[in-house]
A and B are shown apart, each in its own frame.
Chain A
Amino acid sequence: MSTIVLLTLTGLGLGALYFLIASGLSLIFGLMDVLNFAHGAFLAVGAYGTWWASEYLPGAGADGVGFLLAVAFGVAAGTLAATLVELCVIRPLYGRHREQILATVGLSLAVPALLQAVWGADPLPFPRPDLVSGTVGVLGVNVPRDRFLLILAAVAVFTALWLFNARTRYGLIVRAGVQDRAMVTALGIDVRRAFTLVFAIGGAAAALAGALGGLYFGVVTPTQGLSLLIFAFIVVVIGGTTSLTGCAVASLAVGLVQQFANYYTVAGLGDIAVVVVLALVLLTRQGGLAARKSAERVA
């Protein structure tokens, strides 16, 4: 029983991390049909921004309010990076999906290499505030505290995104754009501003995931982003791009499947189990998922 509780909580923590990455990816892909390989770079920027701020930024530190400030700095850096990428790289290539993918692929190779050039390839120890270090007892199990922080952050981001989607005018435009971009444009609404906004939101969520992923793994490395990104892609494909809830459910499912399969079978099989789930979903439920939409739009 205690094992199940532990696995569930850590699985939820991992799922929360996936959700933070996948929510932005899914928004970007849903609205703009851009398969954003640079998302891993935003994550790395967020992680390194947080690490840098906690070391060097006056006022920020490894603990308490200082750490919050450091995370805020990292998120701001990720948001800025995402906005710049949208304005300078994606925007001139609107309507050319292949080139957009190629450009983000180039960025996904170049940005981690740049980070590696500046701070080295070795993993850097990530600051760990007292509040989230150590474990806490839940139903007689010692669960690492940072998992709860991840879950809390994911719930907060989910709520914020949901409120944004449901209650604001831009959320309405984004939702309408996901449904039918051409129609929204025809009605005289400038969807491109929504594109930049969605990229900024996605970048912020990814940077937050980078900062919290630094807590989760204890270190930051330049290439951390890409392996997480692949699972986020899987989440996006399983959850579909039309609903935030689908994305959240898929993230949790992937995180839980991974944790449980890794524990009860050979380590590493959990990651492969996720791939199997993806293949099954794609082959059995082509209609309701991203598959149909992308086939129509991209092919």
Chain B
Amino acid sequence: MTETDVTAKTPDRPGPSPAAGSPNPAARARRRPPAWAAPAAVLAVALSLPFSTLTLPGVFEGALNGPPTLHLLATCLVFGGLATSYDLLYGRVGLLSFGHALYFACGAYAAALLMSVLDLPLGWAAVLSVLGGTLLALVLGAVSLRVNGIALAMVTLAFAQAGSILVARDPGRVTGGEEGLSLDTAHVPDAFVGVVDTVNLYWAAVAYVAVTLALVWWLDASPVGRVWRGIRANEQRVAVLGVNPYPYKLAAFTVSGGLASLGGVVYLLVAGGVTPVVTTAEFTLTLLVMVALGGAGTRWGPLLGAALYTYADHRLLQLGGSDAFAALPAWIAAPLSQPLFVLGALFVLMVFFFPGGVVALPGRIRSVWRGRRGPARTKESP
């Protein structure tokens, strides 16, 4: 893990750099003074989008504040928050879990069931299901984290698979089996129902992402985050230094699971229901792809990767049914109409040629640019 993380961090440097191992990737990017400027700007843009009637032909269909566009954006944001919560485990602590879908699905299914079976209002259902998801992550994390590395990946995968089977087999006809559950609108405030109110779903998604990013960044800057970075770099050394890694890993697992179940609740609202697709191992693999696509362990990477992935998935599906595709010969059009094929193949290429993800791209381009411009490369590199 150690060496791969270091290589993932450094490719934007032209020469061998002794500072590569130092766990301070943020310092390089923060040359511009105020650290709050970027998040504030992003938040301002996110908050102003629903008031803009701008149309971006080719990018979004209809105006920016039209319900379809807002819905797509909300979906992108929910997955962005979910990927950020997954990255807390994968990118920041270095734990490879293949069971993240379980906590997301737990949040969504528990909230839907609490509303439809126990007649609870949305607020209580959300609180209870997030608590339940956090507790589930705590218990399963306590069991799974007794093993390390690939075995951890397998145990979490197996637990998630058990959850997936449970949902698919539909015990007592409560989970809806293959059909999934639809949102019981009787218990949801009117503000979240109906096409006109898509903007409120968008607000909910923005709030979810803001909460997730704030919590993850805050934890990362806290002493706990420092121990996490230590565990990612070398768990044995952390243990030798007298810090027991287990509670720290369990904390990361629990927080990550809790954030995922909160994402599940928001997803239930945004998607208007939940299907067993979100319980499957493929879904967790997709999350892994999103995180690696954006850049694991970076501030914006997971959000960006998930938004790009979700957007591309959506658009490719639309393009697959469009007229432009009908003109292509069948042997090109058929594979291209499968978003998963395009994204999977792109992802494999990315692992080869752009390790570090999308957020590392500007640095790589800059270093290539510098290398092209002249022999001053060795002088310029710090």
| A278-B235 in contact (CB<8A) | no
Tally of chain A residues near chain B (CB < 8 A): 55
B281: Cβ under 8 A from any A Cβ: yes
Least CB separation from A114: chain B residue: B341
Stretch binding the partner chain, chosen from A96-104, A152-160, A179-187: A96-104
B106: Cβ under 8 A from any A Cβ: no
CB distance from A275 to the nearest CB of B (A): 4
| B347-A106 in contact (CB<8A) | yes
Interface core residue of A33, A271, A283 (most chain B CB under 10 Å): A271
| A226-B169 in contact (CB<8A) | no
How many angstroms between the C-alpha atoms of A233 and B159 in the bound complex?
13
| A278-B154 in contact (CB<8A) | yes
CB-CB under 8 A from B151, the residues of chain A are 237, 282, 289-291, 294-295
CB-CB under 8 A from A33, the residues of chain B are 150
| B340-A110 in contact (CB<8A) | yes
| A102-B146 in contact (CB<8A) | no
Residues A109 and B351 in contact in the complex (CB < 8 Å), given A35-B150, A117-B334, A237-B154: no
| B165-A272 in contact (CB<8A) | yes
Residues A268 and B143 in contact in the complex (CB < 8 Å), given A103-B348, A275-B162, A279-B158: no
CB distance from B263 to the nearest CB of A (A): 21
How many angstroms between the C-alpha atoms of A17 and B8 in the bound complex?
38
What total count of A-B pairs have CB within 8 Å? 158
Point out the residue from A35, A113, A283, A290 that lies within 8 Å of B340, measured CB to CB: A113
Residues A109 and B281 in contact in the complex (CB < 8 Å), given A35-B153, A272-B166: no
How many angstroms between the C-alpha atoms of A294 and B149 in the bound complex?
6
Task: Report whether over half of chain B's contact residues are helix, strand or loop; otherwise say mixed.
Answer: helix
Residues A110 and B345 in contact in the complex (CB < 8 Å), given A118-B334, A271-B165, A279-B155: yes
CB distance from B180 to the nearest CB of A (A): 17
Point out the residue from A29, A110, A278 that lies within 8 Å of B150, measured CB to CB: A29
B4: Cβ under 8 A from any A Cβ: yes
CB-CB under 8 A from B162, the residues of chain A are 271-272, 275
Stretch binding the partner chain, chosen from B39-47, B115-123, B285-293: B285-293
CB distance from A119 to the nearest CB of B (A): 10
Residues A290 and B165 in contact in the complex (CB < 8 Å), given A99-B351, A279-B143: no
CB-CB under 8 A from A234, the residues of chain B are 154, 158
| A109-B286 in contact (CB<8A) | yes
Residues A268 and B169 in contact in the complex (CB < 8 Å), given A295-B149, A298-B150: yes
CB-CB under 8 A from A101, the residues of chain B are 96
CB-CB under 8 A from A233, the residues of chain B are 154, 157-158
Question: Beyond A95-B3, A226-B281: 9 further Cβ-contacts under 8 Å?
Answer: A106-B344, A113-B341, A117-B341, A118-B335, A230-B281, A275-B161, A295-B151, A297-B149, A299-B149
A residues contacting B by CB (< 8 A) are: 29, 33, 35, 37, 89, 92-93, 95-99, 101-103, 105-114, 116-118, 223, 226, 230, 233-234, 236-237, 266-268, 271-272, 274-275, 278-279, 282-283, 286, 289-291, 294-295, 297-299
19 pairs of residues in contact across A and B, judged by CB atoms under 8 Å: A93-B352, A96-B7, A99-B355, A102-B292, A102-B347, A102-B351, A103-B351, A106-B347, A109-B286, A109-B341, A113-B340, A223-B282, A226-B282, A233-B154, A274-B158, A279-B143, A286-B146, A297-B149, A298-B149
